[in-house]
Structure 1
Amino acid sequence: MGKELPSTMIRSGVLPLWKNMGNSPLWGLFKSPRGIFKKDELGLEIAQIALPAALALTADPIASLVDTAFIGHIGPVELAAVGVAIAIINQASKVAIFPLVSVTTSFVAEEDAKGSSGAEYQETEMAEKQSASDNEKEQLIPKMEMTGGMGTKRHISSASSALLIGGALGLIQAVILICTAKPLLSYMGVKSDSPMLKPALKYLTLRSLGAPAVLLSLAMQGVFRGFKDTKTPLYATMVGDVANIILDPIFIFLFGLGVSGAAIAHVISQYLISLILMWRLMEQVNLLPPTIKDLQLSRFLKNGLLLLFRVIAATFCVTLAASLAAKLGSTSMAAFQICLQVWLATSLLADGLAVAGQAILANAFARNDYEKVMATASRVLQLSLALGLVLCIVVAIILQFSSRLFTDDINVLRLLQLGIPFVAVTQPINSLAFVFDGLNYGASDFTYSAYSMASL
């Protein structure tokens, strides 16, 4: 492990990240670009975490794109109304989701790494004491089981904390959105005389009922990410989103519920995802902490509040843009909604790399393995830049030919042609930004992430 370093240096990530980089730390993070796609141990570890995470992250925006496509064929007014409602839901959700998931991933990864290190140490100690009595060996075995060895339940207090906070935030969010739905829509430009008000109000109110499931499922995804397991969230998300896609035409067209049907289908899918994740998590983790103090609620809340400021700053621009588009009318709002959903679906692919970087870095920091910290940071940044350039080309080409999948309205299609270049050229910037965030979270440097975003 090497000599222990001051906890402040380890927590901030400053020393290990900038060590031996000379006068150009940024260039140091992009060193050795020839090995970007190398299939070594690190490359495979990144791929095993990033690919399922990316697919899981894009599954929900893709499901929203399907919603958008179905609703777009009802009419441009309904499409615009749902766009405004989704903008409000996204703003409310992101305020809670990103702090919760990011903090949970780092804390669980650290706690699991320390537990695994303890198990390895005890296993070595047992092998060296060949002359020990059977009673002495039996006393060591339970200690290994308490640290989360294979085949036993992990004792991760951070997981319990995440679920408790996620459930509480979900209930609070649902109550607030339902009670303030009409004023929020008015603030977004949907006034009492607007044709968008009625469908937007229906969709927003019904979708809000799924907030507890959304927050709980995201908290559990953070736990699985901390375990470097992104396959389980992927499977759960895919099952839920397939259910959403199947239920959409049934509720919207067969039952004649319109936008209300789309909202109901989405809520059902979110509760299904939450149930699947809870079932899998209970098989792996003992969710009852020994004492209340083990929950570390103050640590969660402190770092969560820091990221809260960051998320508010980051999402303010999107919400403001949606508000301005809504004030221009249903046509502009419909075009904006399609561009936004495409931007989210493609940009979040890079967040898979961010998840991989965060989980691996948090684990490596807990083990004081700073060589792996540096290698991981360099590799995921290089991969993010390559991904961003590919997405730029793909979005520019595909969106040109797929616009009619979302709407047949000529005016909306005309505005889409103006928005496509902006969606495309921002992809490399988005990819790098997502991964830099993941690296900061992996170093538990939530303070820097919050202040740097707020200062912009």
Structure 2
Amino acid sequence: MGKELSSTMIRSGVLPLWKNMGNSPIWGLFKSPRGIFKKDELGLEIGQIALPAALALTADPIASLVDTAFIGHIGPVELAAVGVAIAIINQASKVAIFPLVSVTTSFVAEEDAKGSSRAEYRETEMAEKQSASDNEKEQLMPKMEMTGGMATKRHISSASSALIIGGALGLIQAVILICTAKPLLSYMGVKSDSPMLKPAVRYLTVRSLGAPAVLLSLAMQGVFRGFKDTKTPLYATMVGDVANIILDPIFIFLFGLGVSGAAIAHVLSQYLISLILMWRLMEQVNLLPPTIEDLQLSRFLRNGLLLLFRVIAATFCVTLAASLAAKLGSTSMAAFQICLQVWLATSLLADGLAVAGQAILANAFARNDYEKVMATASRVLQLSLALGLILCIVVAIILQFSSRLFTDDINVLRLLQLGIPFVAVTQPINSLAFVFDGLNYGASDFTYSAYSMVLIAVFTIICLFLLYSSNAFVGIWLALSIFMSLRAVAGFLRIGTRTGPWSFLRG
């Protein structure tokens, strides 16, 4: 069944490409660009997953941008302090978040696809059997009612595993960040005599209290993504972030709590998101697995460990860049923080396509539907390139005319003019890099993702130190541009060499 082609997909002219790619599978992926925005079966499926996912992913960075805007009007020192603290929080969170969410999405999608296949087989078998009497059918109805609707719930052991691991990691992260706040800030270049130290410690300590909610909610987002449901996480995230935006000025200015107020508002919003997602998930999934073995904790941990190394390598590069910016002073750090938040917020739009690609590919690989694998890969890559080009223009225009929304400091504004070209020009590269990550995760190609990122990180770290010493602020952004370019190249190479899960292209 998995290898049957829908008539819609055949007419699109995309699916047969992988059999006729010759020696250039990458070229095949970008063929027939005229159908890139076509509203066929595949296009609608990608859109229904990608758009809500992109909005949900960008909601939190946008909320951080609002935090940045509010704090920027307190003063450049506070803005720089919060920038350093957020860099540490992002590093700590991504170390746990991305392995957890990515593994959860793939495993839940695979488990759900296999469960659906078994259910379809049973339905077909029952339809062919005419021996069942009306009496037996009537006897089944009370049993369904006695379960209190439990029969309609999914039994996905990966969901239970994700919640257990996410909750535990959140508690561990909170304890570590609170206990090591000053040493971490010192490592980031904020020394004991720096005016940034006190506001940075306050913000970092309070924000750390929200770590359990953040990791638990993101684990649940991974479950919903595996079900190809990105609307529920979007609604929950929007409610939480609107609450954050409303509470920010209240805690920061009305209560006079400054940077601590911004952190409190953020923490409260994260717990609200977590509660909404838990309520919705309990309606759809039976979170109590039959046995401990069904949790598949060892499989989670094994693949999660691979992605852990990958994420540490990737986020270390960004964290090192923030550390180098902090060493240049509060002015450079403030400008870097604004550029970085815009860079991440816009680039994560492409991550919505990555989520769609991962969820659809994981489901297709579980069904051995290689035609849909290549159709999906081709479409999301083409869409990511188009999105990147659009973002390049939009970011350049918006940042050029809205810089004063973040700060009134003349020196910070001057450095912003140097960072804007890098933020804008790298958008197409970032989009491709994020989508290739999603394709690798959908193919459960966690080993390649981990090893390739470690090699890229080593080269990027060397570039950071060399370019920082010679070009200061501009050198940091040049090194980050090289970093994202190498990530995109690594994705091209995996499919282009027809290795790993893409070995079916040789046939």
Q: TM-score range by the shorter chain?
A: over 0.9
Are the counterparts in 2 of residues 61 and 341 from structure 1 also a CA contact under 8 Å?
Answer: yes
Tell me how far apart the structure 1 counterparts of residues 232 and 291 of structure 2 sit (CA, whole Å): 28
Relative to 1, partners in 2 of residues 1:245 and 1:13: Cα closer, same or farther, differing over 3 Å? Answer: farther
2:311 corresponds to:
311
Q: Distance in 2 between matches of 1:321 and 1:5?
A: 47
| Structure 2: runs of 5+ lacking an equivalent | 454-507
TM-aligned CA distance change 1:3 to 1:433, over 3 Å: closer
In the superposition, relative to structure 1, how do residues 14 and 222 fare at CA in structure 2: closer, same or farther (>3 Å)?
Answer: farther
Q: Measure, in 1, the Cα distance between the counterparts of 2:23 and 2:146.
A: 45
Query: Is the aligned partner of 1:82 residue 2:85?
Result: no
Shift of 1:222: 0.2
Is the deviation greater in 29-38 or in 14-23? 14-23
- Pair 364,144 (structure 1): closer, same or farther in 2 beyond 3 Å: farther
> How has the CA–CA distance of structure 1 residues 249 and 34 changed in structure 2, closer, same or farther, with 3 Å as cutoff?
same
Deviations 1:276-299 (A, max 9, x none): 000000000000000000000000
In the TM superposition, what is the alpha-carbon distance from 1:116 to its structure 2 partner?
1.1
1:299 to 1:7, Cα distance in 2 relative to 1, 3 A: farther
Contact 1:119 1:144 in 2 (8 A): no
Q: How far is 1:150 from its partner? A: 11
Per-residue CA deviations over 1:58-107 (Å, capped at 9, x if unaligned) read 00000000000000000000000000000000000001111000000000
How far off is 1:134 after superposition?
4.1
CA-CA distance at 1:133 after TM superposition: 2.5
The DSSP-based 3-state class of the residue aligned with 2:244 is helix
Deviations 1:260-290 (A, max 9, x none): 0000000000000000000000000000000
TM (normalized to structure 2)? 0.84
Distance 1:135 1:102 in 2: 47
CA distance in 2: counterparts of 1:268 and 1:89, whole angstroms: 16
Contact 2:105–2:225, Cα closer than 8 Å, also in 1: yes
- CA apart distance, 1:350: 0.1
Distance 1:390 1:95 in 2: 30
Q: 1:22 Cα shift?
A: 1.8
Tell me the distance in 2 between the aligned counterparts of 1:449 and 1:233.
26
> Is residue 9–residue 42 contact of structure 2 (8 Å, CA) maintained in 1?
no
Contact preservation (8 Å) 1:351, 1:431 = yes
Report how far residue 13 of structure 1 moved: 21
State the alpha-carbon separation in 1 of the partners of residues 329 and 50 from structure 2.
39
Residues 332-385 of structure 1: per-residue CA shift (max 9 Å, x gap):
000000000000100000000000000011111112211111100000000000
Per mean C-alpha deviation after superposition, the further-off stretch among 296-305 and 146-155 is 146-155
Q: Is 1:123–1:144's contact at 8 Å kept on the other side of the alignment?
A: no
CA contact (8 A) 1:148 1:154 kept: no
| Counterpart for residue 30 of structure 1 | 30
Name the CA distance, whole Å, in 2 between partners of 1:81 and 1:123: 60
Name the residue aligned to 1:67.
Answer: 67
Q: Is the 8 A contact 2:9 2:41 kept in 1?
A: no
Q: Residues 384 and 164 (structure 1 numbering): CA distance in 2 closer, same or farther, change over 3 Å?
A: same
In 2, Cα distance between equivalents of 1:69 and 1:175: 29
Distance in structure 1 (CA, Å) of the matches to 2:182 and 2:222: 32
Moved more, 136-145 or 113-122: 136-145
1:31 Cα deviation (Å)? 2.0
More displaced 10-residue stretch of structure 1: 160-169 or 141-150 = 141-150
How far, CA to CA, are the matches of 2:297 and 2:157 in structure 1? 10
Aligned equivalents of 2:11, 2:158: Cα separation in 1: 17
Corresponding residue for 2:172? 172
Aligned length: 453
Structure 1 segments unaligned to the other structure (5+ residues): none
Take 2:282 and 2:150, find their aligned partners in 1: how far apart are those partners? 15
Deviations 1:422-455 (A, max 9, x none): 00011001000000010111111111111111xx
Once the two structures are superposed, what CA deviation does each residue of 1:291-348 show, in whole Å capped at 9, x if it has no partner? 0000000000010011111111111111111101111111000000000000010000
Deviation at 1:130, TM superposition (A): 2.3
In structure 2, the CA distance between the partners of 1:145 and 1:35, relative to structure 1 (3 Å rule), is: farther
Three-state SS of the structure 1 residue aligned to 2:273 is helix
Cα distance change, pair 120–200 in 1 and its aligned pair in 2 (3 A)? same
- Give 3-state SS (helix, strand or coil) of 1:163's partner: helix
Whole-Å separation in 1 of the counterparts to 2:394 and 2:54: 17
Question: 2:2, 2:367 within 8 Å by CA — same for their partners in 1?
Answer: no
Q: Judge conservation of contact 1:13–1:443 (CA < 8 Å) in 2.
A: no
Cα separation, partners in 2 of 1:48 and 1:177, compared to 1, 3 Å = same
Q: Any conservation in 2 of the 1:13–1:445 contact (CA below 8 Å)?
A: no
Kindly indicate whether the alpha-carbon contact (under 8 Å) linking 1:147 and 1:154 is maintained by their aligned counterparts in 2: no
**Residue 17 of structure 1: how far off its partner (Å):** 10
What secondary structure sits across from 1:121 in the alignment? helix
Q: Work out the CA distance in 1 between the residues paired with 2:183 and 2:240.
A: 31
Aligned 8 A contact 2:243 2:269 in 1: yes
Change (3 A) 1:127 1:103: same
CA contact (8 A) 1:106 1:358 kept: yes
Q: Relative CO higher for 1 or 2, CA cutoff 8 Å, sep ≥ 6?
A: 1
Three-state SS of the structure 1 residue aligned to 2:331 is helix
Task: Find the aligned partners of 2:33 and 2:278 in 1 and give their Cα distance.
Answer: 40
Contact 1:167 1:216 in 2 (8 A): yes
C-alpha spacing 1:128/1:239, structure 2 compared with 1 (3 Å): same
Relative to 1, partners in 2 of residues 1:408 and 1:5: Cα closer, same or farther, differing over 3 Å? closer
Tell me the distance in 2 between the aligned counterparts of 1:444 and 1:381.
Answer: 18
Contact 1:159 1:220 in 2 (8 A): yes
Asked if the contact 1:155–1:289 (Cα under 8 Å) also holds between the matched residues in 2, the reply is: yes
Do 1:67 and 1:248's aligned partners in 2 also have CA atoms closer than 8 Å? yes
TM-score, normalised to structure 1's length?
A: 0.93
* Distance change (3 Å), C-alpha of 1:2 and 1:166: closer
Q: Residues 13 and 444 of structure 1 are in contact (CA less than 8 Å); yes or no, is this contact kept in structure 2?
A: no
- After TM superposition, the structure 1 stretch with the greater mean CA deviation from structure 2, 307-316 or 334-343, is 307-316
After superposition, what is the alpha-carbon deviation per residue over 1:191-233, rounded to whole angstroms, capped at 9, x for unaligned? Answer: 0000000000000000000000000000000000000000000
- Answer whether contact 1:122 1:144 (CA < 8 A) is retained: no
Deviation, structure 1 residue 132: 2.1
Q: Give, in whole Å, the separation in 2 of the partners of 1:420 and 1:140.
A: 65
- Indicate the larger mover: 303-312 or 229-238: 303-312
Conservation of the 8 A alpha-carbon contact between 2:77 and 2:330: yes
Identity of aligned residues (%): 97
Structure 1 Cα separation of the partners of residues 354 and 126 of structure 2: 38
Q: Deviations over 1:153-177 (max 9, x none)?
A: 1000000000000000000000000
Query: What is the root-mean-square deviation in Å for CA atoms of aligned residues?
Result: 4.2
Q: Distance in 1 between matches of 2:344 and 2:294?
A: 37
Greater mean alpha carbon deviation, residues 29-38 or residues 411-420: 29-38
Partner of 1:120 in structure 2? 120
CA distance 1:145–1:41, shift in 2 (3 Å): farther
Task: Quote how far apart the aligned CAs of 1:147 are.
Answer: 14
SS in 2 for 1:66: helix
TM-superposed CA distance for 1:131, in Å, is 3.0
Deviation at 1:128, TM superposition (A): 1.6
Verify the 8 A CA contact 2:8 2:41 in the aligned structure 1.
no
- How far apart are 1:21 and its partner, in Å? 2.6
Distance in 1, Cα, partners of 2:272 & 2:228: 23
Q: Residues 112 and 156 of structure 1 are in contact (CA less than 8 Å); yes or no, is this contact kept in structure 2?
A: yes
CA contact (8 A) 1:115 1:148 kept: no
- Pair 1:333–1:10, CA change in 2 (3 A): farther
